[in-house]
Structure formats: structure tokens, C-alpha cells
Structure 1
Amino acid sequence: MQGEQVVKIRASYGPAESPALVEIWRSAVRATHDFLEESDFDRIEGNLASAYFPAVSLIVAERAGEPVGFAGIAEGNLEMLFVTDEARGEGIGTDLLNEAIANFGVTKVDVNEQNSGACGFYRSRGFAQVGRDVLDGDGRPYPTLHLELSQ
């Protein structure tokens, strides 16, 4: 069973890996972001490899040599964390978050308010809401919660 295999977190990423990470993103977002308009989904997906991945430090979770999740960090902010839908609930997101906190100084994350699973995930791991915006960073109607790690 896949869930029993060891997950390794690595802080190395090469552009050749972008298609695999985009597929993880697609799987995760299709399963958790039912509020996202199709045009926004397409726009974000089209910018992942060219704009979003290069803007962050990426860490990758792999199982049996295959990527199953990733996180992107910039200046203490967790900018992205996605786990393939097939591996959700197996602790991979927690492993990525723990690595981001311990080795990359993550203390903050913004999360879509409509993504109740992610909101609960971060809150259960010590993050507390410190702010809210009605629009997301692109000015779209996706309220964003600003969370910080409570010490």
C-alpha cells in the first residue's frame, strides 16, 4: 500500500520536475478548490512553472522516488503547499509544513477562506488568524485569511 512507504522531503528542485509538480497542483486544487472559477484555474496553472515556482524556495515530498507533494517558501511565508489528492490525509502535508517551519523559518501563511480543509489544517498545527482580505492577492473575489504561527 502506498501510504506505508517512506516519504522523503528534499530541498532540491529542477525545472525538469515542473510538469510533475504542476500535476500535483492540479490534482490537489481540483479536489479542494471547488470555489475557483475555471478561468482562474487555467491562469494560475499557466503561471506555475514560469512565474510562481521560480519565485519561491521549493521543497518536494517524494515516495518511492516520485513527487507526491511540494511546498514553496518566500521570506518566512508559506506561499504554497499541495499534496496530490491520492496521498491527502497521509501526513505528507504535515511533513512538508514541519520542514518549512524547522528549516525555512516559516511563520505565516495565507489561505483561501473557502478552503475549509486548509484552514482547519493550519489552525490545528498552531496557526491563528491575524487578518482577512475580501479579495485575494490578484484582486479576485476569493477572501484570504492571514495566519501566523502561535508560539
Structure 2
Amino acid sequence: MEHFNPLIEKYTDGQKAQLLALWEKSVLATHHFLSNEDFLAIKKLLQDFDFATLNVYSLNHGTEMIGFVATSAVKVEMLFLSPSYFGKGLGKKLMEFAISTLNATEVDVNEQNQSAFRFYKNLGFEVFERTEKDDLGKGYPLLRMRLNTHVQ
């Protein structure tokens, strides 16, 4: 059996096609509540998005990107894994990196995405605010979560 030890590495613009493909696979596997119209609109936004404006790290297995995390200040803006790597502790590995290395203490979760909510809750995040709409003004309520540093 081949040795599996994916590495967290700084994202480069040359990885954008891989990142967008991974994002799409992950969202299609997890964001069933998203309308097709909204999915396509977000996909278009991301194609034009300059990821250099965020602090992005990819999780790579050889040359394959299998996950990524993006932060801005203390907030995790994006965390996505390739669906074939779900349930292997890699999301936790990326979040622990974001918390310890990138000083992340906040994350927003779509209220409809209960598995993501439970994931962050299990890592010590707690809801401090709920919004009726997401950051694009769409009807997807967000749960804004903050790391409870007293639990660790």
C-alpha cells in the first residue's frame, strides 16, 4: 500500500484550475440545498476571483490537490475537500493548521449544511450569530461561529 501523507503547502496561481475543480466536486457532494442557478453564479464568481487576496493553502497528495483552506484575517473563508477523501481526518488537519498557523478563530457555515456545522462544533466552534441571508444576499442562512478557546 502506498504511503499516504498529504502535505499542506502555500497555494499558487498555477493551481487555480485544480482548486476550482475541487471546489465544484466538493460543493456538488455537500451543498444539496443550493439551487443550480446559485451554484452556477458562485462558480462564475470564483472563476474571476483573485485567490491571492486570501491566505490559501492546499492539501496535496503528490501533484493532486485534495483539499484547501482559505482565510482572511482570523476567519476561515473556505474549506473544501475532494469527496473521495471525506472522513479521513483531512478537514480536521486543515482546520488545525488554520487555527495554529493562520490564527483562525471564526468561520461561517450554511445553516442547511448540518454535517459542516457538526464538524466545526466538534472542533470547538460555537455559534455567536445567525443571519437570514448569506454574504451574497441569497436566502441561505449563515451560522457565524467562533472558536471557544476555553474548552481546549
What does residue 44 of structure 1 align with?
A: 42
Equivalent residue in structure 1 for 2:104, among 97, 106, 120: 106
User: Residue 36 of structure 2 aligns to which amino acid in structure 1?
Assistant: E
- Report the counterpart of residue 8 of structure 1 in structure 2: 7
Could you tell me which runs of 5 or more consecutive residues in structure 1 were left unpaired when the two chains were aligned: none
User: In structure 2, what is the Cα distance between the partners aligned to 1:140 and 1:98?
Assistant: 30
1:19-62 deviations in Å (ceiling 9; x for gaps) = 10111101110010000011111111112242262331101001
Q: Hey, what's the Cα distance between the residues in 1 that align with 2:54 and 2:39? A: 20
Please, what TM-score do these two structures have when normalized by structure 1?
Answer: 0.94
Instruction: Read off the aligned partner of 1:112 and give its amino acid letter.
Output: N
Q: Of the candidates 80, 83, 87, which is equivalent to residue 81 of structure 2?
A: 83
| Count of aligned positions | 149
Structure 1 residue 16: Cα displacement? 1.8
Q: Tell me the residue number matched to 1:146.
A: 144
What is the rounded CA distance, in whole Å, between the counterparts of 1:90 and 1:35 in structure 2? 24
Is residue 6–residue 64 contact of structure 1 (8 Å, CA) maintained in 2?
A: no
TM-score by length of 2: 0.93
Deviating beyond 4 angstroms after TM superposition, the runs of 4 or more aligned structure 1 residues are: none
Question: Could you say what secondary structure the match of 2:101 adopts?
Answer: helix
Distance (Å, rounded) in 2 between the aligned partners of 1:6 and 1:66: 12
Give secondary structure in 2 for the equivalent of 1:100. Answer: helix
Higher helix residue share: 1
Unmatched 5+ stretches in structure 2: none
Distance in 2 of aligned mates of 1:131 and 1:111: 11
1:114 partner SS: coil
Question: How many Å separate the matches in 1 of 2:70 and 2:48?
Answer: 14
CA distance in 1, matches of 2:140, 2:114: 13
